[in-house]
Structure 1
Amino acid sequence: MVYSVRKSILTRLVRLAWLPLCFLLVACHVDMYDQPKYKPNDVSTFFPDGRAMQPPPANTVPLNSYNPDSPLMTGRIEGQLADQLPPEIRLDAALLAHGQSRYNAFCAPCHGLVGDGQGVIAYRGPMTVPSLHQDRLRTVQIGYFFDVITNGVGRMYSYASRIPPEDRWAIAAYVRALQLSQNADVALLTEAELEQVRAGR
């Protein structure tokens, strides 16, 4: 009697165990494998050129295209802080304008719009933010600013994950221009430039 009951229970359990397997078998369709898709070198009516394989979009950056040890990525030349922009970065008005935009977004809250260390965060908080116009920072290599943005210093944390290398160089170039604007020798300005200064332009 006991054996018969056990056998009956075991039989029911086996039958119940088959139910999930049956559901899985029903759920599996070859559609998931044979779904509509293009293969390399297929013809496509979707694109104007009739090809399924399309060239990469403009400004696509190939994987591992950067040399991690290059001056562009490290701010250093043969281990020493770079004293000039890397060859990939062109110094022009567009670079400085972009650097100003990135500086205002990431740096000005602490360093201030003119780099005097009187940004909103510094004004409201107890910490002291160094002025970018002190003699020590006016004479350091431009690679120093790239290095600080990349790795941080003191209470300033790294911005490497927030600011791409090209933008870090743009900020560094703008900081140099900002330093010059606040410490320029008026005697070196032309009359036209003096008129612009007086007009606040």
Structure 2
Amino acid sequence: MIRRVLGVLLMALLLGGCERGMHDMYDQPKYKSLAPSPLFANGNSARTPPPGSVATTAGEAADSSGGRRGALPAARSIASPTPLDEQGRSLAQGDMGGRAASNPLPLTMALLRRGQQRYDIYCAVCHGAAGDGDGMIVRRGFPAPPSYHSERLRNAPDSHFFQVITHGYGVMYPYADRVPVHDRWAIVAYIRALQLSRHAPVYQLDASDRAQLQASAGANR
């Protein structure tokens, strides 16, 4: 009998502890907007977003009069290795009034290798290694993106791909907060290389490439 009473008391104490823990979760310590904080040198709890991030509003607040749906204008990057702003405008070319229609970065093997690396990390899971729109999660039921080899996307300007990476499109989430401006243009360059790999004019190939192409065509007959 005594053991039962002790057991009931112990269970009540345990349940009381759980309830207290739940209340701690309900009322977590946090800073309110513009509240001071001794943790940072400037005394402010609000932190400046990292360069390249794009502020967005999501959830129920997006439909309210005090919220805004979609992307907000992003501040210029202060750490970009090239003279580009956060909208992809080339400051070196004086394109201050609109988007850069073509990739403003010099096309080098280093840029393509960087673009391939970033593409494999952020893009291939949906768009596929070759850009066919058959990435690994698409094969498991996720909506398929369009193929980069479609006529529409082969004729699209470089700025289209840059803006989609920056702001997202359809079910694609914006990547501006995780892919810097320079890397976005590197990915665009690599996408162009993927497109060219299937649609390059034969006359642009050198003699050795044409010989390999003819040998491959003969072996497939």
Which residue pairs with 1:192 in the alignment? Answer: 208
Amino acid at match of 2:172: M
Contact kept? 1:72, 1:166, Cα under 8 Å: no
In structure 2, runs of 5+ residues without a counterpart are 1-75, 90-94, 217-221
Q: Decide which structure has the larger Cα Rg and report it.
A: 1
Matches within 5 A, 1:1-201: 65=78, 71-76=84-89, 77-86=95-104, 89-197=105-213
Deviation at 1:196, TM superposition (A): 4.3
Number of equivalent positions: 134
Q: Please give the TM-score of this superposition, normalised by the length of structure 2.
A: 0.54
Identity %: 46
Contact kept? 1:81, 1:144, Cα under 8 Å: no
Summarize deviations over 1:105-153 as a string: whole Å, max 9, x none: 1111110111011111111114122101111111111111111111001
Contact kept? 1:71, 1:82, Cα under 8 Å: no
Summarize deviations over 1:28-52 as a string: whole Å, max 9, x none: xxxxxxxxxxxxxxxxxxxxxxxxx
Q: 1:71 to 1:136 in 2, by over 3 A?
A: farther
Measure the CA separation in 2 of the matches of 1:153 and 1:83.
18
Amino acid at match of 1:100: Q
Q: Which has the higher helix share?
A: 1
Contact kept? 2:103, 2:188, Cα under 8 Å: no
Deviation at 1:72, TM superposition (A): 4.0
In structure 1, runs of 5+ residues without a counterpart are 1-62
Measure the CA separation in 2 of the matches of 1:186 and 1:166.
31
Amino acid at match of 2:148: L
Measure the CA separation in 1 of the matches of 2:97 and 2:120.
30
Q: 1:80 to 1:199 in 2, by over 3 A?
A: farther
Contact kept? 1:81, 1:141, Cα under 8 Å: no
Report which stretch shifted further, 137-146 or 178-187: 178-187
Q: 1:118 to 1:78 in 2, by over 3 A?
A: same
